[in-house]
Amino acid sequence: MPRFALKIDYDGGPFQGWQRQAAGQPSVQAAVEAALARLEPRAHTIAAAGRTDAGVHATGQVATVDLERDWDTFRLGEALNYHLRPQPVAILGVSRVADDFHARFSAIQRRYLFRLVVRRAPVTHDRGRVWQVLNPLDLAAMRAGAAHLVGHHDFTTFRSSICQAKSPVKSLDSIEISEHPYAGGTEVRFALRARSFLHNQVRSIVGTLERVGAGAWAPERVAEALEARDRAACGPVCPPQGLYLTGVGYPTDPFA
């Protein structure tokens, strides 16, 4: 059976996450599988590079699926987008891949972006797509705190209690924090890159760094929290709506 890789873009707001849920609970996986069933009428199971939580978005999710027909990739993408309407899910690219390519297990890098907006007035156009705070943040302090997290560490402190990963030890390749103009305020973007992430790791890190930026934590307290290896030492976990899976890296880009 030919195997295809799909690059998927979605607004996570209406869904209970990527993973297929119990009957009646919408998920991105179920939406794409239902569209596939319109093209090849049978049950489909697709594998994704990352199982995003409820409310989390993606601009570069990758999934693999085995189909009976050797589809033209352009026509497959167009047909899937037709059957996905009007749901906020879109297929950005389709590629025919080798039988041993797997969206999750072949990945060597994942990239996440978290968008935080600082302004007093309520967010309108980006409601459900950013985390809003009211008071200014100290970017230099947040960068100093973030520096303690880059590298190979035990991230137990920044890991959900229901995380199913076998080990809390991960290598965080980079955290870049940048400031951008935003109507009536500013937008702070956190770009994180690693081979893989623990459940709620990004939201735990961003929530903790926001406390540093707000002046409630000293930057050095981030290092102390990391060394504690205790979930209770973590700062507040920020809400999901500002988080985006922006890309997945492979030894060879299937969409190049």
CATH number of the domain to which 97 belongs: 3.30.70.580
Q: Let me know if 9 is exposed, middle or buried by CB neighbors in 10 A (0-12, 13-18, 19+).
A: middle
69 and 135 in a common domain: no
Catalytic residue among 9, 11, 53, 154: 53
Bridge partners for 48 per DSSP = 63
198 and 161 in a common domain: yes
201 and 121 in a common domain: yes
122 and 92 in a common domain: no
Residue 78 has pLDDT above 90, yes or no: yes
Closest listed residue to residue 238, CA positions, set 55, 88, 58, 109: 55
> Domain containing 131 — which CATH number?
3.30.70.660
Q: Which of 85, 106, 127 is the last residue of a domain?
A: 106
Query: pTM (2 decimals)?
Result: 0.96
243 and 147 in a common domain: yes
Number of domains within the chain: 2
Q: Which pairs from 220-226 meet CB under 8 Å and 24+ separation?
A: 220/145, 220/148, 221/145, 222/145, 222/146, 222/148, 222/149, 223/148, 225/157, 225/158, 226/148, 226/149, 226/153, 226/154, 226/155, 226/157, 226/158
Find where tokens 């993408």 sit.
77
For the four alpha carbons of 130, 134, 137 and 143, in that order, the dihedral sign comes to negative
Residue 10 has pLDDT above 90, yes or no: yes
DSSP string, 173-214: EEEEEEEEEETTEEEEEEEEEES---TTHHHHHHHHHHHHHT
For the four alpha carbons of 220, 221, 223 and 227, in that order, the dihedral sign comes to positive
Specify whether 53 is catalytic.
yes
> What pLDDT is recorded for position 205?
98
For the four alpha carbons of 234, 170, 53 and 175, in that order, the dihedral sign comes to positive
| Percentage above 90 pLDDT, the chain | 96
State the residue range of the domain holding 54: 3-106
> What pLDDT is recorded for position 29?
97
123 and 213 in a common domain: yes
> What pLDDT is recorded for position 22?
81
123 and 73 in a common domain: no
> What pLDDT is recorded for position 23?
77
> What pLDDT is recorded for position 21?
86
CB atoms within 10 A of CB 222: 28
> What pLDDT is recorded for position 164?
86
pLDDT tens across 211-242, in order? 999 999 999 999 999 999 999 999 999 999 99
Which residues, including other chains, have CB under 8 Å from residue 105's CB and lie 6 or more apart?
Answer: none
Q: Are 104 and 47 in contact (CB under 8 A)?
A: yes
225 and 124 in a common domain: yes
90 and 145 in a common domain: no
Q: Are 168 and 158 in contact (CB under 8 A)?
A: no
> What pLDDT is recorded for position 93?
98
